[in-house]
Each structure stands twice: as C-alpha cells, then as structure tokens.
Structure 1
C-alpha cells in the first residue's frame, strides 16, 4: 500500500501544483481554460491515437468486460438517481447527481496514471472504460435532462447526442487509431514522432489542468457532495469488482484495470455539463473537490488491492 501510495503521489503532486498556481493567481482562469483546451483537443487526442493505433479490436472490445462495467455502473447510477428523486429533486438534478456517482476522471487522470502504474497492457481496458462512459452515460444525461424539460423525447435530442459524440476529440482519436490498426496501415516515422511528442504533453498538462480547475471550486452542500463522493470512490469500484470477478468472470488483469478506473474521482466534464444546462453546478463542483482530495488515499488503496491479482 505504501509503495503504491508513493508511486501515485507524483500524479497528485502535479494536481497540487496546478491548484497552487491557480489559487495564487499565478495562473489565471483564462490560462486554465487555454491549457485545458490544449490538452483536450491536442495532447490527449494524440496520446489516445498513438495508443489505439497499436491495439487490435480484440484487445479493446471484450463482451464480459463491457457487460460487467455497464451493469455495475448502471446499478450505481440508478441508486444515486433514485436517492436524489427520493429527496424530492427533479429528474435533471437527479441525473446530474447520478453522473457524479459513476463518471470518473478517466481521460485526464486515469489514462496517464493507470498506464504508467499498471503497464502498457492496461491501455485497452482503460480506453474501453472511457468509451463506455462517453458513449453511454454522457449520452444518457443529455437525454434525461432534455427529455425531462421538454416533457417528451424528441428526435432532435438524439441528433444532439450523435453530433456531440462525433465532435468529441477523445472518441474521434480512439476510433481513428483503431481503424488505422484494423486496416494494418503502416505508420510513417514522422507521424509517430509527431503524435509521441504531442502526446507526451498530455500527462503533465492534464494533471496541471485538473488542479488549476479545482482552485475555482468552493465547497458547499457538503452532505450531498460527500454522499456522491462515497458513491464514486467506494460504491462504484466495489460494484464493478463484484460484477467483474463474480458475475462475469472477466480476465483478472483486465478486471483489475476496470476496478482501478472505477475508483477515480468525479470527472471535470460533469461540471461542464452541469454549467451548460444550469443544473446543480455547485453540487458537482463540491463533489469534484472532495472526491479528488480523498482519492489521494482511496485510489492508492484500490490499486494496491487489485495489484495482487
């Protein structure tokens, strides 16, 4: 446990560096937005393309893996949403809370950290988790919020979801990389050098951007944010572990990566969605702040546990 903690510490130290830079106003909000955009559209996309171009479809698409993650994540989603509705919250707020409970920071934190700590063979499972989160659950929240406000489902909602997926650089880069690999196209050395150099900026840039974005978040409505952080850091990985190891018998290493990915703190893109739709943004902000802080200990503990198998 201590060894894993010290190995994860540099990642969280980088987040702390970004937090300090933004908190002291050395890094402005505009600068934080700029570095986040650079990482999201360029550095992280280059990294994902380089990783996926070296994978085969069989390494990414695994039936039991997908069923295990979908069922476990869906269960926690329903639990979190049901609890919000029980408290009398409307459907749109309940959907945002459910999103906090299951969507981890896989893109900015999980991919660089887990591939470094668990080895390059972790790339396929991590990207599968990221793809499910983006395609299934990020689409679901848009459908729930829009449908609840309109009172009925419109075809235009599905169009909005489809356009959002097509425009998401992470989805596009993974798809292009897998198509490149499937077609067995030769990768020119200049192209590989380009995406390697650009992708190398993803890890420090993403971690710094996470910290800098946290500096603008304040802690309010601690009770609900604490419950959502508990769902994300404890209940979600526990449910995924049960589904992967007991129900669907996922290959042990892939299961360990899936569980570790499920233990990641609440993703920043949930906050972006909350702000965009004007729903419970402060609640999400607090959940991100609390879960990211606590994850310094919880993520290390989960990785230490899954490393035994």
Structure 2
C-alpha cells in the first residue's frame, strides 16, 4: 500500500498545488474557470480521442460490465435517496445527494490517474464508467429536478438532456474515436502528435483545476458531507465490486478498474448542477471537499487491492 500511496501522491500533489495557488490569491476564480474550460473542451477530449481511436468497440462495450456498474451504482443511489427522504428532503435535494453518493471525478481525476497507474487495459472500462455516469445518471438528476419542480414530465426535459449529451465534448470525442476505429481509419501522424501534445495538458491541467476549485469550497453541513463521502468512497466501490464479481461475473481486470473508478471522490460537475438549479450547493461543496481530502488515503487502499489481484 505504501508503494501505491507514493504513486498516487504526485497526483494529489498537483491538486494541493492548485488549492494553494488559489487560496493565496495567485490563481483567481476567473482563472480557474478558464483553466477548467480549457481542460474540459480541449485537453481532455484530445486525450479521450487519442485513447478511443486505438480501441475496438468490443474492448469498450461489455454489457455485463454495464449491468454490474448500473446495479451496484443504483443500489447506493437508492440508499442515499432513501436516507434523504427519511430526513424529509424534497425530490430535488434527494436527487442531488444521491448524485454525490455515486458520481465520481472520473473525467478530471480518474482517466489521467487510473490510465497511468493501471495501464492500457484500464482505458476501455474507465471510458465505459464515464459514459454511464454522463448518459444515465447525468440525465436522471436533471429529469428528477426539473420534473419535481414542474410537477410532471415534459418532452422539453428530454430535449434538454439530449442536447446536453450532444454538446458534451467527452461524449463526442469518445464517439468520434470509436467510429474512426470501427471504420479502421488511422489518424495521420501529425494529427496523432497534435492530440498527444494537447492531451498531455489534460493531466496536470485537470488536477490543478480540481485543487483551485476546491479553494472556494466550504465544509458546511459536515455530518451530511461525511455520510455522502462514506457512500462515495466506501459503499459505491463495494457495491459495484460485489455486483461485478457475484451477479454478473465480470472479468477480474475490468472489475478492478470499475471498483477503482467507483472509489473516486465526488465530481465537480455535481456542484455545477447543484448551483445551476440552486439545489443545496453548499452541501455538495462540502461533500466534494471532504471526499477529495479523504480519497488521498482511500484511493491508495483500493488501487493497492486492485493491483494485488
């Protein structure tokens, strides 16, 4: 575990560097927003496109894997929703808390870190986790929040969700890469070099941006944030691991990647959704801050266990 901890330390060191720069005022909130845009719209899609163009669709699309991840994730989602409803929260707040319980920072932290630590075989499963999170659970939270406010489901909600997916650069880059791969179209060397150069900025840029964004987060409602952190860092990886091994009999390597991806801290895009719809943003902020800090140790334990398999 010590060896794995030392391997993950540089990643969290970059997060700490971004946090320190923002706290000291060296990096403003506006600067953080533009860095995040650069990573989200340019560097990370370049990395995903370069990865996906070298994969076959069969390497990524494994229905047993998808089923295991959906079942395990939805079990924790339902538990978090139940606890929220027992506390008499409304549907929108319950949906946001459930989102915190299962949506990890796969894009900005998981892809750069797990691809390096777990190797090329991890890339396909990581992309599958990212796709399920964005397409299924990303759509679900928007539908629940808007539907609960309107009191009924409208076709306009589905149109908003669909357009959001079509405009998501991570989804678009994966689809383009897999399409080129299926058509056996090789990228020219200059294009590959361009994607490699641009994608190389994704890892340090994303990690620095995570840290800088955490500097503006607060730790209010610590007890609730601690519960959501427990869901995200412990219950979620345990649930998907059990579903993969005992219900769907997923390949052990893919199972390990799934568990590692599920052990990632709460994603920043949950805060963006909470802030956009004005649903408990301070609570989400605290969950992101506490889960990210705790994951420095928990991710090392999970990856150490996964690599031992």
Asked if Structure 1 and Structure 2 have the same fold, meaning a TM-score greater than 0.5 normalized by the shorter chain, the answer is yes
Matched, 1:202 2:206: no
Instruction: Name structure 2 gaps, 5 residues minimum.
Output: none
Q: CA deviation at 1:306?
A: 1.2
In 2, the alpha carbon distance for the partners of 1:186 and 1:133 equals: 29
2:287 corresponds to:
287
Partner SS for 2:72: helix
In 1, the alpha carbon distance for the partners of 2:25 and 2:70 equals: 41
In 2, the alpha carbon distance for the partners of 1:51 and 1:88 equals: 44
Matched, 1:212 2:212: yes
Instruction: Name structure 1 gaps, 5 residues minimum.
Output: none
Partner SS for 1:218: coil
1:80 corresponds to:
80
Matched, 1:54 2:58: no
Q: CA deviation at 1:245?
A: 1.1
1:259 corresponds to:
259
Partner SS for 2:308: coil
In 1, the alpha carbon distance for the partners of 2:186 and 2:240 equals: 37
Over the aligned positions, Cα root-mean-square deviation in angstroms equals: 0.5
Partner SS for 1:55: coil
1:173 corresponds to:
173
Q: Higher mean Cα deviation, 180-189 or 41-50?
A: 180-189
Matched, 1:238 2:238: yes
Q: Provide the aligned length of Structure 1 versus Structure 2.
A: 309
Poorly superposed stretches of 4+, deviation over 2 Å: none
In 2, the alpha carbon distance for the partners of 1:167 and 1:269 equals: 15
In 1, the alpha carbon distance for the partners of 2:110 and 2:231 equals: 18
1:142 corresponds to:
142
In 1, the alpha carbon distance for the partners of 2:97 and 2:271 equals: 11
In 2, the alpha carbon distance for the partners of 1:37 and 1:263 equals: 25
Q: CA deviation at 1:187?
A: 1.0
In 1, the alpha carbon distance for the partners of 2:299 and 2:228 equals: 16
In 2, the alpha carbon distance for the partners of 1:186 and 1:274 equals: 41
1:121 corresponds to:
121
When normalised by structure 1's length, the TM-score is 1.00
Matched, 1:68 2:68: yes
In 2, the alpha carbon distance for the partners of 1:122 and 1:165 equals: 24
Partner SS for 1:286: helix
When normalised by structure 2's length, the TM-score is 1.00
2:39 corresponds to:
39
Partner SS for 1:185: coil
Partner SS for 1:180: helix
Q: CA deviation at 1:186?
A: 2.1
2:97 corresponds to:
97
In 1, the alpha carbon distance for the partners of 2:177 and 2:70 equals: 23
Q: CA deviation at 1:214?
A: 0.1
Cα deviations across residues 31-51 of structure 1 (Å, max 9, x unaligned)? 000100000000000000000
In 2, the alpha carbon distance for the partners of 1:141 and 1:83 equals: 17
Q: Higher mean Cα deviation, 180-189 or 275-284?
A: 180-189
